[in-house]
Amino acid sequence: MLLADFGTSYFKLLDTDKGAEPEIIPTRALSPDFTADLATGHNAKRRSRKSINELTALARGGRKLIDDANFTLLDCGSRDIKYIRFQGNEVADMGWNAECGASMGFTIELLAKYYDINYSALRIPETGFSITCGVLGMSRIFDAVVNGSSETEAVAKFVRGIARNGHRFTGSPDRLYLSGGLCDNALFTGCFPCDLIPLGRFVLLEGLKEYRAKQR
């Protein structure tokens, strides 16, 4: 069975019949006629035989991977951010932000390419910008550079602002689990003011696997 998490910039694919590791493929490389058996994410309804909501997949994946009855899990995608909070092994709260969280992951990747930045090499800044939107927040970088900041310093403050915004969005917990491609961004993960536990890019695929198992 083909399971897919259709992200805006990348899609994650798992062929359960082959027993191989999940693949990460740029969305622009997706064949026009590709169809998954079960999917979630952007374009899942159009690209699959059956689709489930991203929050449902996130909740099921988090429940599978996190050995705790009480936790908050934040998923940072290219286009939006969303979270699930469990209390006593039950979903207690959730949120989805595609407006104020707009294009945060995409913007961070775009800035790295534009300024030729290795985020692993950047020092975590002591202060940051107040950011609520990835696209609109870029103006803070340009203003800072015009006023004498280096490009890397300005981008680092931008990333810190995005991380802090994500933390506030989830209710500012003392411990936070993270899902998505930004788990691999050392600057981003280092800017959270809490105990952060990255789970990687395949949490929603784990959710699809759980959903499939329960349907048998």
Q: If pLDDT is split at 50, 70 and 90, which confidence band does 9 have?
A: confident
CATH number at residue 46: 3.30.420.40
Q: If pLDDT is split at 50, 70 and 90, which confidence band does 3 have?
A: very high
**Is the pLDDT confidence value at 121 over 80?**
yes
Quick one: 47 and 105 in the same domain?
no
**Residues 11-43: b if buried by 16+ CB within 10 A, e if exposed:** bbbbbeeeeeebeeeeeeebeeeeebebbbbbb
List, for residues 128-158, the tens digit of each pLDDT value.
998 877 777 788 898 999 999 999 999 999 9
Residue with the two structure tokens 């915004």: 165
Quick one: 86 and 162 in the same domain?
yes
Mean pLDDT of 37-52: 94
Quick one: 37 and 96 in the same domain?
no
Alpha helices (H) in the chain, listed in sequence order: 44-47, 54-65, 104-115, 134-146, 151-169, 186-190, 203-215
List, for residues 170-192, the tens digit of each pLDDT value.
999 999 999 999 999 999 999 99
Q: How many residues in the chain?
A: 216
CA–CA separation, 69 and 175 (whole Å): 13
Quick one: 91 and 154 in the same domain?
yes
Give CA 159 to chain center in angstroms: 14
Amino acid identity at 5: D
CA–CA separation, 171 and 209 (whole Å): 28
Q: Which 3 state secondary structure label does DSSP give 55? A: helix
Domain range for 34 is 1-66+202-216
Q: If pLDDT is split at 50, 70 and 90, which confidence band does 45 have?
A: very high
In what side-by-side order are the strands of the sheet with 48-51?
Answer: 23-26, 10-15, 2-6, 36-41, 48-51
Are residues 171 and 178 in contact, defined by beta-carbon separation less than 8 angstroms? Answer: no
Q: Which 3 state secondary structure label does DSSP give 49? A: strand
Its pTM stands at 0.92
Are residues 42 and 65 in contact, defined by beta-carbon separation less than 8 angstroms? Answer: no
Q: Give me the percent of the chain exceeding a pLDDT of 90.
A: 75
- Picking from 14-23, 59-68, 200-209, which range would have the lowest pLDDT averaged per residue? 14-23
Residues 6+ apart with CB under 8 A from 158: 111, 128, 129, 131, 137, 138, 140, 141
Quick one: 62 and 79 in the same domain?
no
Quick one: 84 and 116 in the same domain?
yes
- Picking from 12-21, 46-55, 128-137, 195-204, which range would have the lowest pLDDT averaged per residue? 128-137
Looking at residue 99, what is its pLDDT?
55
Quick one: 163 and 72 in the same domain?
yes
Quick one: 100 and 179 in the same domain?
yes
Q: Give me the percent of the chain exceeding a pLDDT of 70.
A: 97
List, for residues 57-115, the tens digit of each pLDDT value.
999 999 999 999 999 999 998 888 999 999 999 999 999 885 555 567 888 888 999 99
